[in-house]
Amino acid sequence: MIKKGLALLLSMTLVGGAFVSCGTKDSNTNSTTTNASEEKDKNNSGKEEEKEKVVTQEIVWNLGSNPKTLDPGLNSASDGGDVINNLFEGLVREVDGQYIPGIAKSWDISEDGLEYIFNLRDSKWSDGSPLIAEDFEYAWKRAINPETKSEYAFIMYPILNASEYSSGEATADDVGIEALDSKTLKVTLKSPAPYFLGLTQFYTYFPVNKKAVESGEEGIWAKQPEKFLGNGPFKLETFIDSDKLVMVKNENYWNADAIKLEKITALMIVEDSTAYTAYQNDEIQVVDSVPNELIPQLMIEDPEFYVIPMTGTYYYIFNLRDDAKEVFKDERVRQALAYAIDRKTITDKVLKGGQIAATGFVPPGILDAEGNEFRTVSGNQGIEVDGSNIEKAKALLAEAGYPNGEGFPSFTLKYNTSESHKKVAESVQAMWKENLGIDVELSNAEWAVFQDDRSNGNFDVARGGWIGDYSDPNTMLDLFVKDGSHNDALWNNEEYTKLIEEASLLAGQERMNKFYEAEKILMKELPIFPVYYYSDFFMIKDNVLGVVKTNLNTFYFGNVTVEAE
C-alpha cells in the first residue's frame, strides 16, 4: 500500500483526501415533457443539493498543551510556535521548502551577503492600523534587550557581535537593523549566515505592535483577545488556559481574500488516547500526536496518518549548578548514566514511531560545507545505541565510587506531562535500575510549570528536546554556550564556547570543523545526553486540504480549505 504520508519526504505541503464528485440524480431521458409541479420539485431538489454542498470552513485541531506565551519575542516552545505562525507573519514564509514573500514583497542582498534591504508591502495589524518597518525594528531590538528575557534572543546572533552577545554585553544598539522609512528595512549582518533569509520566518523575527506589547503584563497581552494585535491570516478570538484557544480569519490580513478557513479551534488535550478518540469520532480534524501503541498499525493501514523526519533531538539534562547534587558534577557518573541506556529498545519497542536512536546531539539531515552528513562524519561519539557499552557504564560508575549503584544518592528525573514522555522516563528508570543498580524517582509537571522548573534549576535530571530552527549544526550546538538561554544545565566549558563563537565568524568547511570539535567536547562531558532523533507524526482528515508543515515542523493553516466528506 502506498502511503500518502511518504510524499511528505519530498514536500511538506499536505494535500490529503480525494475531491468529492457531486453528480446529479438519474433522470428519465425518455420523458419529453414536464408539468409545472414536476419542474418545481426538480428546482427545489437542486437547491437542496446545492445547500448540501456548502461546507463550514472550520477545523478543530488538538494543540496538545497550554502554550506558555503567544508573544513572538518570548516564545521558545513548539506549541506556541504553531499558534504564532498563524497569528503573525514575518518578512518571508516557507512553502514547499522555498521562501516566498510575506510582509516583504521583495528584497535585495549585497554581493558579500552581509546586507539585506527588505521592501515591505502595504499591510495592517488586526485592528486595521498600518504595519510599518519600525514595527520590525522595535520587535528585534526588544527581543535582544536583556530586560525582555527572551529565551530565543540568541537566534539573532547574525545581526549581533558574537563576543558581545555571548558575554551578555550586547545591547539594542548592537542589532544590525534600521527602518530607512516606513516601507524599507535595512539589515546588516555581523557574521556570515547563508541561511539568514530563512531565519526571518522564525517567530523571534516577527514584528510586534508596541501599543499591544505595552498594554499590560509582559508576554500576557498575546493571550488576551481584547489586547491582541497580530498581522497574520488569523487573529485571536478566545483563550482559555489549559482548555482551548480560538483563532478566526483576520479580515485585515494583506492577503485575506486568499484565506478560506474561517475558524480554528485549538484544544489543549494532553492525553494522546483522549485526542485520538475524539479524532475517530470526527470531533477533531487534526491531531499532532497519537498513542504510541497504535503507530505501527496506523503507519500500515491509515492513509490519514503521516510520518515525516524532524531535525531535532530528544535528550536529558543534568543539573550542574552550584547548589545541585554533587554526584552529577562527576563526568564519569554522567557518562555511566548515558551509556547504560538501550536507545534502540526505546525507539523500536517503546515509541514505535519512526524515531532514530541518537549517537550524538546534532541530528541527521544537516550537511557540512562539503555536502557530507554531519552526523555521519562526527560518528557515534562513544554511544552504542543498542546498549552494548553497558559494561563500560558499570566500570565508570564503580570508578566514580558507586559499584553496582551502592551508595548512589537518591534523585528525581523530571518530565512534562505526556504519555510518551512518561513511557520513555519509565524505560530509562528501569534500565538504570537493571544495568547500574540505581534507583530514580519520576516526577512530572504541566508544561508551563515544567519549563519554569527547568530554566530555574528546580530539577536533578530533566527531559529536554530541541527542534532545529534552520539547517545548520549551530541550530543545535549553540544551546550550550556559557550563559546560553537554553543551557539549563548551566554547564560552562570555555573551549566549547570559544569554538561556537569562532564558528560564527567563519565560513565554509573551516566553520564546520569548529562544530565537529565542539560536539566532541559536548559528548565527552555530557552535561546532556541524547536519547533519540525526532520524527513527526500526525493525522489529518481527508477532507481537510492544504495543511502545511514547514521545514521547521510548524503548522500553517493559511492554505486550508474544508471539502464535503
Question: Positive or negative CA dihedral for 319, 320, 321, 325?
Answer: positive
Torsion-angle region of 368 (φ positive above 0: left; ψ -120 to 50: alpha; else: beta):
beta
pLDDT at position 376, please? 96
How many Å apart are CA 429 and CA 416, to the nearest integer? Answer: 16
**Statement: 311-536 belongs to CATH 3.10.105.10:** yes
Cell for 7?
Answer: 510524499
Within 8 A by CB and 6+ apart from 130, the residues are: 122, 123, 124, 182
pLDDT at position 193, please? 83
**Statement: 60-304+541-562 belongs to CATH 3.40.190.10:** yes
pLDDT at position 35, please? 33
SS3 sequence of 274-297: HHHHHHHCCCCCEECCCCHHHHHH
Virtual torsion, Cα 74, 75, 76, 79, nearest 10 deg: 170
Whether the CB-CB separation of 284 and 60 falls below 8 Å is answered with yes
Q: What angle do the packed helices 331-339 and 419-436 form, to 10 degrees?
A: 110
Domain ranges of the chain: 60-304+541-562, 311-536
How many Å apart are CA 185 and CA 252, to the nearest integer? Answer: 22
pLDDT at position 263, please? 98
Q: Which amino acid is at 305?
A: F
How many Å apart are CA 449 and CA 451, to the nearest integer? Answer: 5
Cell for 370?
Answer: 562539503
Bridge partners, 464 (sequence order): 315
pLDDT at position 128, please? 98
How many Å apart are CA 100 and CA 200, to the nearest integer? Answer: 11
Question: Positive or negative CA dihedral for 357, 363, 368, 370?
Answer: positive
Helix (H) or strand (E) holding 119: strand 115-120
Coil, strand or helix: which one is 530?
Answer: strand
Whether the CB-CB separation of 279 and 60 falls below 8 Å is answered with no
Q: What angle do the packed helices 331-339 and 508-525 form, to 10 degrees?
A: 90
pLDDT at position 179, please? 96
pLDDT at position 422, please? 96
pLDDT at position 486, please? 87
Q: What is the DSSP string of 183-201?
A: TEEEEE-SS--TTHHHHTT
Q: What is the DSSP string of 39-95?
A: HHHHHHHHHHHHHHH----EEEEE--S--S---TTT--SHHHHHHHHHH---SEEEE
Coil, strand or helix: which one is 434?
Answer: helix
How many Å apart are CA 70 and CA 85, to the nearest integer? Answer: 10
How many Å apart are CA 433 and CA 437, to the nearest integer? Answer: 4
Alpha-helix residue ranges (DSSP H) falling in 167-240: 196-199, 210-213
Stretches where the chain sits below pLDDT 70 are: 1-53, 161-174
